[in-house]
Copies of this chain bind each other. A is one copy, B any other.
Amino acid sequence: MVNAAVLVIGNEILSGRTKDANVAYLGAELAARGIILAEVRIIRDDQAAIIAALDTLRASYTYVFTSGGIGPTHDDITSAAVAKAFGVDLVRDPEAVRRLQERHGAGELNAARLKMAEIPRGASLIDNPVSAAPGFRIENVFVLAGVPRILQAMFDGLRSSLAEGAAQISRTIALLVREGDLADGLTSIQESHPLVEIGSYPNFTAKQPHVAIVARGTDPSELERVIAEVRALAGQLGALVLEE
């Protein structure tokens, strides 16, 4: 199984000032390659917090994608924290300097901008077609910009380097039923289909309050069987099937 974690770094996300858009994007893009997004963490611009999260996540998942904190200002501390987490120096990368120079001209390449050319020793650059300042990959960790447009452009370039997992597919059936009436039968269905992940999601705010049953897995015919059994259960309970 190929899986991944996303580590969002930034006080502005936790304070609610900035709405994160990167988790949903990465989740969908990873799923499309059969990579399961297994965990997300959102943490502050704090070196110790970044190192602790990275150490756990990179040991637990196939890939870790970080978002945020690689710009030129004092609150951009991700690159230094990643270097420290891997126990390597932060070094000025000549190719990154060249790209920034091409973008800004030598006259504008001040100390703050050159900071964006510093990457952990041994890391490889991730292209940034939007604003030149690169992200980087070190081992199974991909360090990306926080600005969604830049993160997406970076991901576009690295996508093909990721392993592909078995495609995850899902089927949904919505029932006019209360969860508590459905639960026992649904447990039996889950037990007889251990390779399918069955989720039950009540929706109280829809025009017709209902329960959505989502079956997720890699085998389409197994999903078909699960949905058929849920439909039969709905019949036994006298519950209308709302949509499929």
Q: Is the CB of A74 within 8 A of B15?
A: no
Q: Is A222 an interface residue (CB 8 A)?
A: no
Please classify how large the interface on chain A is, using the bins under 10, 10 to 19, 20 to 34, 35 or more: 35 or more
Q: Is A104 an interface residue (CB 8 A)?
A: yes
Q: Scan residues 5-32 of chain A and give those whose CB is less than 8 A from a CB of chain B.
A: 11-12, 14-19, 23-24, 27-28, 31
Q: Is the CB of A200 within 8 A of B39?
A: no
**CA gap between A57 and B43 in the complex, in Å:** 12
Q: Is A218 an interface residue (CB 8 A)?
A: no
Q: Is the CB of A74 within 8 A of B111?
A: no
Residues of B within 8 A of A182 (CB): 73
Residues of B within 8 A of A170 (CB): 15, 17
Contact of A204 among B40, B115, B149 (CB under 8 A): B149
Contact of A201 among B18, B39, B74, B202 (CB under 8 A): B18
Q: How far is the CB of A129 from chain B (nearest CB, A)?
A: 13
Q: Is the CB of A49 within 8 A of B39?
A: yes
Q: Chain A interface secondary structure, helix, strand, loop or mixed?
A: mixed
Segment of A83-91, A136-144, A154-162, A184-192 engaged in the interface with chain B: A184-192
Q: Is the CB of A14 within 8 A of B41?
A: no
Q: Is the CB of A41 within 8 A of B44?
A: no
Contact with B along A72-95 (1 / 0, CB 8 A): 111100000000000000000000
Q: Is the CB of B18 within 8 A of A31?
A: no
Q: How far is the CB of A145 from chain B (nearest CB, A)?
A: 10
Contact of A37 among B15, B36, B110, B112 (CB under 8 A): B15
Which residues of A are interface residues toward B (Cβ below 8 A)? 11-12, 14-19, 23-24, 27-28, 31, 36-45, 49, 71-75, 104, 108, 110-113, 115-116, 130-131, 147, 149, 170, 179-184, 186-187, 190, 197-202, 204-205, 214, 216
